[in-house]
Amino acid sequence: MSSATFVGMPAFPDAARGATGNAQLRHNLRKATHTIRGKRGEVVEELDDWAGLREAGRAVKDRTLRHLDHYLERLEEAVTAAGGTVHWASDADEARAIVTRLVHATGEREVVKVKSMATQEIELNNALEQEGITAYETDLAELIVQLGDDLPSHFLVPAIHRNRAEIGRIFRERMGAWGVPAPEGLGDDPRELAEAARRHLRQKFLETRVAVSGANFAVADTGSMVVLESEGNGRMCLTLPETLISVVGIEKLVPSWSDLEVFMQLLPRSSTGERMNPYSTVWTGVTPGDGPQEFHLVLLDNGRTDTLADRVGRQALRCIRCSACLNICPVYERTGGHAYGSVYPGPIGAILTPQLQGMQGPVEKALPFASTLCGACYDVCPVAIDIPEVLVHLRERAVEGKRPGPEKTAMAAAEWVLDDPRRMHLAQRAASSLRGAVPRRLPGPGAAWTDTRDLPDIPERPFRDWWREHARGGEEQR
Amino acid sequence: MSAPLGSRERVLAKVRAALADVPRGEDPGDAPVPRDYARTHRQGPALDLLVDRLEDYRAQVRRVRGAELPAAVAEALERRGAARVAVPGDAPGEWFSRSGAEVLRDAPWEDRVLSVSELDAVDGAVTGCAVAVAETGTIILDTGEHQGRRALTLVPDYHLCVVRARQVVDGVPEAVERLDPVLPQTWISGPSATSDIELERVEGVHGPRTLEVLLVE
């Protein structure tokens, strides 16, 4: 039932062409991104020390990454001491195998899931399905995606590309196949839709014995896990089952408990634009008599250490998945998340995906170019990831080893001309005398550029000549 | 078990190789972390601020004097139509002295544990809290005094929470400082909500759809 995958998607330029032609999609995205931008702006404005919080957030993450081996060992020790079991997965295959084995060991065939980017990244649901285990997504947006056999297009609101009418239709048509069907005559009102989701999932929450989650933060010092959410589906999954399996990327660590005073301010305001999200759960290993009595932490590498090895690119690992960069991005606003061909869309996805997956494939190679380098993403990033810097760095890597093409040859020629005032002047005069012969549109490969732009007019005479005349005249008038 | 064996060492070795540029003698604490942010934002008197923020989340709030608490509890439960409520085993009997509601105590240490279906069948839960954050309108429960297990405030559809003035702090840093991470925590900022449909906030999904707060001064 959940066979949707990003594998085999077209590269960004092709995918974006299709997406931008979809008027409904563009309408949905524009409305959603503008709403959330406004909300974020208001609650960030409210804190006069935002710059200080942002700098602290950046520094805490940098400290963690610079000594990640130390903090990972510390986390493992703390989780184990608190009654949890720690597993290590170097790639998606290993992580899927570990989770599948742990679920099998419980004897259960169903698991409830809290929305988690890490489990999407490793395509866990498909792997579980092949092993005869059904994974029920419980976040409302994830439920919409799962029922619609669709793909997520946003970190926080995976169904941001769907409007209420589409969601109503998906619920009416698909809920029955997964369990409790939608109520008779279900309409499109968000309130009604939320109520339908509550009824659909209620028994699953109360009866399912195994849950799978991710974590927003893992505190190395204490072994505490933190999950932020809104609906209560997270609390249900993290509290009621007997066994809890959390798949967590190794970059999710923070050194100590007190560091949360920074991130519990940065994350909610940056992501949902709220002063605080409705619910957060913190748990440390196993607590007798409260919550799951078996806790497994699966630490996931899957390309993160490769990213860490790149001294410019490693800053992408600071990301706390707030999605502020998606919401502000003029490119994301027009193409939506699917065009990025990965579970990590938007500006952060454009630097994260090529680094996590390597830059061999056409999708990964195209991603660093899926940006105008306007820098809005850097401005809103709560941990100050300089996304444009990494994009440019990855563009260099994408073209590394290529034979000098026409662009490079042209640049070399331009350098020769621009380097010398005399050559420059001669070139300008030559251009002016030929201005009548220059076409509006370029021929050959240059045509792609002029498809959407006009060539600038070449002035009748070079500015230098004009200046020589007028500067002299000006002095005479004085 | 055989497949993942050695993964730990492999991941740690790759981390160390990736960090070849970090000087060998550098201690984690040597990486500077500036703390140029405020403990509190001084946005107003804490109790007023808490009420304002809670109401912004569409939680119901009432400020009461200590002596008025039993009557306020009774009134809230009656207004809600809550005839049977689940409460932590150590909840003060005085809270319910004026109420006619049936009070079911959940006391795991006395082997009186309410099952999930029992919790699903009650009309609400009444608890205290550990800390409340005024600036963000957040109530934090840590399973300590008068709070009970996490499931208690999760399964019932109505949560009546008693917050005492001394439990209210201005900002998040002060709250984090007061909390013991070893205890399981639930941070609650208003009733359960979602913004997943066109980013429009709708209160009431899986958690308690009604949150009512009695702020005791």
pLDDT, one tens digit per residue, over B54-98 is: 999 999 999 999 999 999 999 999 999 999 999 999 999 999 999
Contacts across the A-B interface (CB distance below 8 Å): 265
Q: Give Cβ neighbours of residue A346 (< 8 Å, ≥ 6 apart).
A: A154, A323, A325, A326, A329, A332, A337, A340, A377
Q: What's the average model confidence in pLDDT over B184-213? A: 90
- Measure the CA–CA gap between B57 and A43, rounded to whole angstroms: 14
The CATH code of the domain that includes A170 is 3.40.50.10420
- Measure the CA–CA gap between B62 and B160, rounded to whole angstroms: 11
Higher pLDDT, B195 or B130: B130
Give the pLDDT score at A240.
Answer: 97
How long, in residues, is chain A? 478
Domain hosting B143: range is: 46-216
Test the B interface: residue of A227, A290, A295 with most B CBs within 10 Å: A290
* Residues of A in Cβ contact (< 8 Å) with B179: 257
Say if A34 falls within a structural domain.
no
Give the pLDDT score at B1.
Answer: 44
* Residues of B in Cβ contact (< 8 Å) with A84: none
- Measure the CA–CA gap between A155 and A138, rounded to whole angstroms: 15
Q: What's the average model confidence in pLDDT over B133-161? A: 97
Listed residue (B189, B187, B165, B183) closest to B175, CA to CA: B187
The answer to whether the Cβ–Cβ distance between B200 and A190 falls below 8 Å is: yes
Which backbone phi and psi does A279 adopt, to 5 degrees? -135, 140
Chain A, 437 to 456: residues with Cβ < 8 Å from chain B are: none
- Evaluate the CA torsion angle B61, B67, B69, B74 in order and state its sign: negative
The model's pTM is 0.90
Say if B41 falls within a structural domain.
no
Q: What's the average model confidence in pLDDT over B102-127? A: 93
Q: Give Cβ neighbours of residue B17 (< 8 Å, ≥ 6 apart).
A: A305, A309
B39/chain A closest Cα distance in angstroms: 9
Say if B201 falls within a structural domain.
yes
The answer to whether the Cβ–Cβ distance between B37 and A49 falls below 8 Å is: yes
Test the B interface: residue of A199, A261, A298, A312 with most B CBs within 10 Å: A261
Give the pLDDT score at A2.
Answer: 46
Helix axes A406-418, A421-433, angle to 10 degrees: 110
Test the A interface: residue of B37, B143, B152, B157 with most A CBs within 10 Å: B37
Number of domains in chain A: 2
**Residue ranges of chain A with per-residue pLDDT less than 50:** 1-2, 478
The answer to whether the Cβ–Cβ distance between B37 and A262 falls below 8 Å is: yes
Give the pLDDT score at B124.
Answer: 98
A255/chain B closest Cα distance in angstroms: 9
| pLDDT confidence band for B5 (50 / 70 / 90) | low
Give the pair of three-digit tokens for residue B113: 């544990």
A438/chain B closest Cα distance in angstroms: 49
**Domain ends where: A258, A286, A304?**
A304
Give the amino acid at A169.
Answer: R
**Domain ends where: A304, A320, A347?**
A304
The answer to whether the Cβ–Cβ distance between A282 and B185 falls below 8 Å is: yes
Give the pLDDT score at B111.
Answer: 80
Test the A interface: residue of B135, B194, B200 with most A CBs within 10 Å: B194
Number of domains in chain B: 1
Residues A433 and A300 in one domain: no
Give the amino acid at B5.
Answer: L
User: Does the structure show a pLDDT above 60 at B151?
Assistant: yes
* Residues of A in Cβ contact (< 8 Å) with B144: none
- Measure the CA–CA gap between A294 and A296, rounded to whole angstroms: 7
A167 touches chain B (CB under 8 A): yes
Say if A256 falls within a structural domain.
yes
A264 touches chain B (CB under 8 A): yes
The answer to whether the Cβ–Cβ distance between A53 and B37 falls below 8 Å is: yes
The CATH code of the domain that includes B158 is 3.40.50.10420
Say if B29 falls within a structural domain.
no
| pLDDT confidence band for B144 (50 / 70 / 90) | very high
The answer to whether the Cβ–Cβ distance between B15 and A284 falls below 8 Å is: no
The answer to whether the Cβ–Cβ distance between A278 and B188 falls below 8 Å is: yes
| pLDDT confidence band for B52 (50 / 70 / 90) | very high
Give the pLDDT score at A403.
Answer: 67
Domain hosting A426: range is: 416-438+459-470
Give the pLDDT score at B3.
Answer: 47
Please, are residues A373 and A386 in contact by the beta-carbon 8 Å criterion? no
- Measure the CA–CA gap between A334 and A340, rounded to whole angstroms: 12
**Domain ends where: A265, A282, A304?**
A304
A62/chain B closest Cα distance in angstroms: 8
Say if A223 falls within a structural domain.
yes
User: Does the structure show a pLDDT above 60 at B187?
Assistant: yes
The answer to whether the Cβ–Cβ distance between B15 and A240 falls below 8 Å is: no
> Does an H or E element contain A264, and which?
helix A260-271
Give the pLDDT score at B120.
Answer: 95
Say if A271 falls within a structural domain.
yes
Give the amino acid at B41.
Answer: H
